[in-house]
Amino acid sequence: MEIKMESTAFDEGGMIPKRYTCDGTDISPPLAWTSVPNGTKSLALICDDPDAPMGTWVHWVLFNIPSDMKELPEGVPLQKKLENGAIQGINDFHKIGYGGPCPPGGTHRYYFKLYALDTEMNLEAGITKAELLKAMEGHILAEGQLMGRYTR
């Protein structure tokens, strides 16, 4: 099953506005989704850039998003635990929460990947993408993604 993702800030494959990058305000873009399957207990979101020179660069790790949520607003706070109970991991900028596109050159692709899980993750704030992916093994009911591009 596939989760459908969209943003009011950019279309699939479109350019991510400067506002959501290191060249702008560097806040997270608004994201919305539909088609989350029955039985979903929590959602997890990972944003990364596979075009980074040193390998895939992680921009955002967020998990234990309540299963009844249908969107994330623009500018999710940079804190370990959000009001809705979601928990943020560490990005490759070594910070909690979202770190926007900041490519050294060329056009890069940024994938916002959402996972529907059959459980809540018993993990601490500040975990890495790799730690979250390992914990999610065998618990993914569905996934979806939205890809945006950015050039400096």
Beta carbons of 74 and 29 less than 8 angstroms apart: yes
**Domains identified in the chain and CATH numbers:** 4-146 (3.90.280.10)
The answer on pLDDT for 91 being more than 90 is: yes
Evaluate if residue 86 carries a pLDDT over 90: yes
- Predicted confidence at residue 42, as pLDDT, reads 98
The answer to whether the predicted template modeling score (pTM) of the entire model surpasses 0.95 is yes
Structure tokens at 12: 């699939």
57 within 8 A of 48, measured Cβ to Cβ: yes
15 SS3 class = strand
The DSSP secondary structure of 30-52, one letter per residue, reads: PEEEE-PPTT--EEEEEEEETT-
Average pLDDT, the chain: 97
